[in-house]
Amino acid sequence: MLKSQDIFILLKLVVMGSRPWSYAGLAVELGMSPSQLHAAIKRLLAAQLAMRQEERIVPHLRNLEEFLLHGLKYVFRAERGELTRGMPTAHAAPPLAQMIVATATELPPVWPDPEGEMRGMSFLPLYKLAPKAARTDENLYELLALVDVLRSGRAREREIAAKELKKRLEHYAAAQ
């Protein structure tokens, strides 16, 4: 059974591309224990969202794209809450912030975060460590924001996010 942290980890592997990684190093980057990371990788392999490629474990990008576009919103539904301070996500974060103009009365979705720079409506991240990891990795931040649109956005927003996500996954696939 997949956990939300598994998709979080897999998105990090996507942005890492062909860069070598170790369980200990990646665990530190993501702020989790190596044993959590190891268990997640086992689940990702079993779900065929990751695969072994020689000595490496890499995302299975075609399966990942299909899951993100068609299954994610049913498995890891977005939870919205109250007005809070946080880090912008979904259509309020890059790359969609420049493409989608929110209405003047609509508060932006934010991951609750005491270090956040924006007030908006609480939007629980895919995984609790997402804001911290996103602060240090812009590419991961953008993928997580796109995934949040797929989890909760309106049809037009989801369509734009799906195109952006496909474009980025193709770019990462070409880099491998």
Domains in the chain with CATH codes: 4-73 (1.10.10.10), 79-175 (no CATH)
Alpha-carbon span 172 to 25, nearest angstrom: 21
pLDDT of residue 131: 94
Do residues 93 and 110 lie in contact, with contact meaning Cβ atoms separated by under 8 Å? no
Mean local confidence (pLDDT), 20-40: 96
pLDDT of residue 174: 87
In the predicted model, is pLDDT for residue 160 greater than 80? yes
Alpha-carbon span 117 to 94, nearest angstrom: 14
Categorize the per-residue pLDDT at 153 as very low, low, confident or very high, splitting at 50, 70 and 90. Answer: confident
With pLDDT > 70 as the criterion, what percentage of the chain qualifies? 98
In the predicted model, is pLDDT for residue 93 greater than 70? yes
Alpha-carbon span 6 to 28, nearest angstrom: 16
In the predicted model, is pLDDT for residue 151 greater than 90? yes
Q: What is the pTM of this model?
A: 0.94
Mean local confidence (pLDDT), 45-60: 95
Categorize the per-residue pLDDT at 104 as very low, low, confident or very high, splitting at 50, 70 and 90. Answer: low
